[in-house]
Amino acid sequence: MTVSLRYVARSDVGLVRDVNQDSGYAGPDLLVLADGMGGAAGGDIASSVAVAHLAPLDGESHRSEDLLDRLRTALGNAHRDLVAYSAEQADLQGLGTTVIALLRSGTRLGMVHIGDSRAYLLRDEHLTQVTTDHTYVQHLIDTGELTEAEAEAHPQRSALLRVLGDGEAAPVVDESIREARAGDRWLLCSDGLSGMVSAETIERILIETADLDACADELVNLALRAGGSDNITVVVADVVETKDLPDTSPQVVGAAATDRARPTRGGGGASSRAAALTRPVGTDDDATARPVRRRRRVLTWAIAAVVVLGLLAGLGTLGYRWTQTQYYVGANNHHVAIYQGIPQRIGPLQLSSVHENTEIALADLPGFVRNRVERTMATNSLPAAEAIVADLRTQARPADSDEDDEDGADPGNGNGETDPGDEGSSDDTTEDPEDDEDAAPEQLDASGP
């Protein structure tokens, strides 16, 4: 069985805050939600940088057994960038962000989580909170010092124990491998939703609202009607069986998006007027909101805008420098080429250039492989891009190769078909599920359905 993700991302600045510090990403193989914290513009940068490092993982050039390693590496790189930037800007000490990321390969999902943003799984009309909040209050609940009811009103309920980028020590993240089962619906959300809308209501909306866009819009609207005291960001994705190529256009929302300054959609209601009356005048959004001075943001984008908008928000050369550490394989003049950078242009700024042209003609590749190259195949290093090219070279079948086959080549590889061993290393979406089950079995659904 072949499965894919159908997805949507939404965000709103809310009714109280001036700035959205959440960032979200939804793509064919990757879902990310990050909720930034820090001073003045720190949260914007933190969540954008996290998404910028994770976004290049979106694609099918990874194996299920590599999912957690790739996520771990991306988070580690983002953490180091945030620590370095915080050290350069004294007013941004304490810069950090929560992160939830789900990366798919075939019927497996690798998940990493740090902070208090949440992942929920709706399976067989039953909603499960898959993640555990890394907060002081959750610690008190876990140790039996506080009840769930008492936690709702605790003054330190938003104090975080773990975030990405806050301190030089390596971040401690929760990791697991999960099944991508057709019929599942995933929700990633910032606490602008989970802190304002009950789990029971979230479950009802996820069950009753089949349309993804309508579902995400309704969740955001409910949080706004409940007061909208924080930024609200949601990523909703359905796991579906598919025979056709799914939509591969990513959606980016919040601080990482091109429309990051979009006003709230709830500006004219009673909740908005009430929030305006109770909001402190002339104070920083987070001065009284959180011990860690949290501020959040959310909306929609395309892959390179994450880095460039981080640059515009104050990253300077750091953001652009990061793009030039990335590589991808794509098409150039009807041939396969390795590019340095990311496949986007913002205004006059092109964020990639051809690093190496190859002799591999697109016409010599099998149809589904050619489509993947034309959509670009992202990597985070030159050796990884070269490995992809080496694999493509084994799959290329020039038109005159049929005559060679008739003269003694293996008949099992005729008609432009590739050796099964090569296919297994180049396209994980078609690998045997039994092989997947051998990958990290001790982690499979270790913390939930």
Length in residues, the chain: 449
Report d(CA 247, CA 265) in Å as an integer: 27
Mean per-residue pLDDT, 419-436: 40
Report d(CA 105, CA 114) in Å as an integer: 22
**Nearest-CA neighbor of 33 among 176, 181, 179, 191?**
191
Mean per-residue pLDDT, 262-273: 58
Mean per-residue pLDDT, 373-387: 84
Residues in contact with 209: Cβ distance below 8 Å, sequence separation at least 6, in sequence order = 215, 218
For residue range 184-243, list pLDDT tens digits in order.
999 999 999 999 999 999 999 999 999 999 999 999 999 999 999 999 999 999 999 987
**Nearest-CA neighbor of 308 among 351, 339, 348?**
351
Q: State the Cα angle at 357 between 353 and 363, rounded to 5°.
A: 120
Strand partners, 128: 121
For residue range 309-334, list pLDDT tens digits in order.
444 444 444 456 667 788 899 999 99
Report d(CA 394, CA 431) in Å as an integer: 18
Report d(CA 216, CA 186) in Å as an integer: 11
For residue range 30-84, list pLDDT tens digits in order.
999 999 987 555 788 899 999 999 999 997 678 889 999 999 999 999 999 998 8
**Can you give the pLDDT at residue 62?**
81
Report d(CA 164, CA 169) in Å as an integer: 10
Tokens representing 225?
A: 């009607």
**Can you give the pLDDT at residue 87?**
83
The DSSP result for 159-176, as a single string, is -BS--BSSSSSPP--EEE
More confident residue, 435 or 132: 132
**Does residue 397 surpass a pLDDT of 50?**
yes
**Does residue 425 surpass a pLDDT of 80?**
no
**Can you give the pLDDT at residue 447?**
40
**Can you give the pLDDT at residue 282?**
37
For residue range 83-100, list pLDDT tens digits in order.
888 888 777 777 899 999
Across the chain, how many H-helices and E-strands are there?
A: 15, 15
Which of the four pLDDT bands, split at 50, 70 and 90, describes residue 21? very high
Mean per-residue pLDDT, 263-276: 54
Report d(CA 83, CA 438) in Å as an integer: 37
Report d(CA 42, CA 255) in Å as an integer: 11
What b-and-e string marks burial along 238-254, b requiring 16 or more CB atoms within 10 Å of the CB?
Answer: bbeeeeeeeebebbbbb
Q: Are 52 and 318 in contact (CB under 8 A)?
A: no
Report d(CA 17, CA 21) in Å as an integer: 10
Global pTM?
Answer: 0.63
Report d(CA 254, CA 244) in Å as an integer: 30
Q: What percent of the chain has pLDDT over 90?
A: 44
Report d(CA 209, CA 149) in Å as an integer: 29
Is residue 180 classed exposed, middle or buried when 0-12, 13-18 and 19+ CB atoms within 10 A define those classes? buried
- Average pLDDT over the chain reads 77
Any idea which residue has 């773990």 for tokens?
A: 162
**Can you give the pLDDT at residue 213?**
96
Mean per-residue pLDDT, 399-428: 41
Residues in contact with 289: Cβ distance below 8 Å, sequence separation at least 6, in sequence order = 158, 230, 295
Report d(CA 191, CA 194) in Å as an integer: 5
Residues in contact with 217: Cβ distance below 8 Å, sequence separation at least 6, in sequence order = 10
Mean per-residue pLDDT, 281-301: 35
Mean per-residue pLDDT, 137-146: 87
Any idea which residue has 């050369």 for tokens?
A: 317
Q: Are 173 and 74 in contact (CB under 8 A)?
A: no
**Can you give the pLDDT at residue 443?**
38
Q: Could you give the C-alpha distances from 415 to 46, 134, 427, in angstroms and in order? A: 50, 55, 19
Mean per-residue pLDDT, 371-389: 84
Report d(CA 421, CA 276) in Å as an integer: 63
Mean per-residue pLDDT, 334-356: 83
| Strand-pair category, 174-179 with 108-114 | antiparallel
